[in-house]
Chains A and B, each alone.
Chain A
Amino acid sequence: MSRSALLDKLRRLARPEKAPGLPESLPDFPTYADPVAQFRNEVERVSGIFLDARAESGVEKALNSILATQGPCEIYWESEDVFLRHQIPYRLRNLEAFAQGHLIYSSHPNPDVKLPLLLLSKPSSRADLAAMSVSATSAECGIAETGTVVEKAGTGRGRAQAVLAPAHVTFLREQDLFMNHADFFAQFQPGMDSSYAVLVTGPSRTADIEKTLVLGVHGPQRWYAVLTR
């Protein structure tokens, strides 16, 4: 009832002939000689922690640095895709068990790193998700202009994991870094292969009390962006 009445009304009131058409081009967006430097500056500007893992065994160094900051913890990995996409050289024990949807542990190839790495591969309850202390996901892409990473739900991946833990690590490949928002949105097709996508820039924040900045109000307080090759 409301639908047709409202749409009829809107159709009657439409005046397409008097309105401008949609603009054919976008205003200019900034470009950078060194997009990685721009990305890093912006991540740090919003109190994020940037780790460059592009060098040889950079990922291990980055993980060690995260573990050093976080103290004893388990890292909850979103899926095996993170390891594959970022060539994280962990010898996963018991891959069959992982494939069957069990939680399994892997050990770090560096004998100095003793902490277990926990893999989550099954749909989990809200309570399971809420118990995480550090979570790790892989970003679809990043945007240098604002130090932003783009995450998506998808096969075996969900919406909530990257926002529940007090600390979160996002892995981003250098080749997936866009210069600016115009470049990113020109190719972005939300809904294409996922019901949810999010642009994330820095740790969760609020300034609702006297404009005093506080990090970690609902989402992570510490937010790492690890750039890989």
Chain B
Amino acid sequence: MIDIRRNSRKALADSQLQKNLLLTLSKTMAARNQVVAEVDNWEALRTHAQTVKAHTVANLGKYLETLESRVIAQGGQVLWADDAREAVDYLLDIARRYSATKVVKSKSMLGEEIHLNHELERANIASIETDLGEYIVQLADETPSHIVMPALHKSREQVADLFAEKLGMERTEDVERITLTARQVLRQHFLTAQMGISGVNFAVAETGSIVVVENEGNARLSVSLPPVHVAIMGIEKVIPRTEDLCVFLKLLTRNATGQKISTYVNFVNGGRRDDERDGPRDFYLIILDNGRSQILKDEYLSQTLHCIRCGACLDTCPVYQSIGGHAYISTYQGPIGAILTPQLLSMDEAREHPFASSLCGACHDICPVKIEIPHILLKLRDQAQRESGGKASKISAERIILQIWSWFMQSASRYRQASWVARRLQPLFIRTGKRFPVGPLRAWSEKREIPQLATKSFREMFVAEEGEK
């Protein structure tokens, strides 16, 4: 099982990480809030997007088939993969067919999910991440810590050290010079790679278009320069119509990076046509399930698949803000990761994920497609509890306490007596550093301040002021 607790303690003690998180997330949220405030019908846009997603996810098979037929009509090839292994095998097979020794990759969360870089390297194919953030993470031999900002856990000093060490450039903390170096190194890779791999933000069924949203131009180069382009998508990325993109793009780019629109929104419809001057000869689309279809089984939970990966729920989450992304040890972090991970993997592996939340609801408020993350978290907690047979000791202790609480709350006199006792007993614990010194509440109270009960209850004060009725 992934031990989020242990990782969180480590993250909380890492002062450099805390500084980096605060700096980046506060800037991101400020920019996001500003551009969202400019839109007077934000709620109408969210409702529209939610409706389109709900419709699509309920009819996934139909739209994926339409997408497939349109892609094939444009000369592309469509490959269906049940799991990561099958998707990787397809990719290795294509790489072999094109004698590819080098692949340029633009950002793809799905690529992370199937550990694509690792698999390609194992087959002696150099896999180069070309998004600057992803490139930094790759050089550092780490994993992304955010869906949209993969290297947000790194400061400029840390990136300066990394570039000096790995690329042999003179150490500089000048972000512009670091970026220029990356441009030069990566440009050479673009000019020599035999294969380009991209993710997919949206796949439009009616036109067979793959839509890739980005700012740097690396996705544009990845789908333009190498002789073959392979796009990989999860089954939930399909949308029925082009016209709805005006809504999705407006929500996605504002929420993700605080931009009115990203610099490049690429539409790929197959490989190069005969009369076109450049572009890949061949185009492949890999459609991957990897656990997604099992999420469809539960009608309520299936809204998890509405996510468009804007990452805003991470930015706004008090838990993510405190522990960052790596603590989740998952491709998807933050609130969306907390609901997606146990459903994609298994509850056994990711039992702690649904509990890594304070249920404050900020993720639901910010979600561009209104996924009810807090309620899904509760449902998954319930599932985790049932599947473990209520055996997890901390959970059953919680249950006993709540049962006692409920018994006291059911009668006014019991409540009065209990609170009278509690007000007199509490000072004993408060004196010992606001902690329960022993018993099952010890761990619980370590992380929480226990509010001090007033010496007089409201009822007592009310009676004193107004007299008993």
Contacts and interface: CB of A to CB of B under 8 A. Distances in A.
B156 A210 contact: yes
Interface stretch (A50-58, A62-70, A104-112, A153-161): A153-161
Contact of A198 (B41, B208, B266): B266
A101 to B, nearest CB: 11
Nearest to B151: A208
Contact of A14 (B48, B59, B178, B270): B59
B58 A19 contact: yes
Interface in B200-226: 204, 207-209, 215-218, 220-221, 223-225
Interface in B263-314: 263-273, 275-279, 283, 289, 293, 296-297, 299
Nearest to A155: B275
B278 A123 contact: yes
A175 to B, nearest CB: 21
A71 interface: no
B228 interface: no
Nearest to B90: A2
Interface string A24-46: 00111100000000000010011
A11 interface: yes
A206 B216 contact: yes
A3 interface: yes
B154 A199 contact: no
Interface size class on chain B is 35 or more
Interface in B229-284: 235, 240-247, 249-250, 257, 259-273, 275-279, 283
B128 interface: no
Contact of B278 (A2, A158, A184): A158
A219 B217 contact: yes
B342 interface: no
Given A10-B60, A195-B268, A209-B132, A22 B240 contact: yes
Contact of A7 (B59, B65, B182, B242): B65
Contacts of B154: 209
**Listed residue (B59, B204, B241) with the most chain A CB atoms within 10 angstroms of its CB:** B59
Contacts of B48: 23, 26-27
Given A10-B235, A201-B261, A210-B175, A196 B266 contact: yes
Interface in A102-135: 122-124, 126-127, 129-130
A13 B133 contact: no
Tell which of B241, B247, B249 has the most Cβ of chain A within 10 Å. B247
A22 B41 contact: no
Interface string B179-209: 1101100110011000000000000100111
Contact of A185 (B70, B242, B260): B242
B64 A154 contact: no
A100 interface: no
B279 A195 contact: yes
Contacts of B180: 216
Interface stretch (B78-86, B362-370, B457-465): B78-86
A209 B276 contact: no
A119 B123 CA distance: 42
A40 B59 CA distance: 42
A204 B263 CA distance: 7
A142 interface: no
Interface string A139-177: 000000110100001111111110110000000000000
A206 B179 contact: yes
A9 B224 CA distance: 35
B364 to A, nearest CB: 19
B442 interface: no
A218 B219 CA distance: 10
Contacts of A208: 131-133, 136, 149-151
B175 A7 contact: no
Contacts of A14: 58-62
A182 interface: yes
Nearest to A78: B277
Contacts of A186: 243
B352 to A, nearest CB: 28
Interface stretch (B8-16, B22-30, B412-420): B22-30
Contacts of B209: 190-191
Contact of A160 (B204, B207, B225, B296): B225
B51 interface: yes
A195 B271 contact: yes
A188 B241 CA distance: 11
B55 interface: yes
Interface in A191-219: 191-192, 194-212, 214, 216-219
12 contacts: A45-B260, A161-B277, A189-B207, A195-B74, A199-B264, A203-B263, A208-B149, A208-B151, A209-B151, A210-B23, A212-B156, A218-B216
The 8 closest A-B pairs by CB, nearest first: A219-B217, A191-B269, A19-B58, A10-B61, A158-B278, A158-B277, A208-B133, A159-B224
Interface of A: 2-3, 5-7, 9-11, 13-16, 18-23, 26-29, 42, 45-46, 122-124, 126-127, 129-130, 145-146, 148, 153-161, 163-164, 180-182, 184-186, 188-192, 194-212, 214, 216-220
Given A6-B82, A159-B224, 6 more contacts: A158-B224, A158-B276, A185-B244, A191-B269, A211-B24, A214-B175
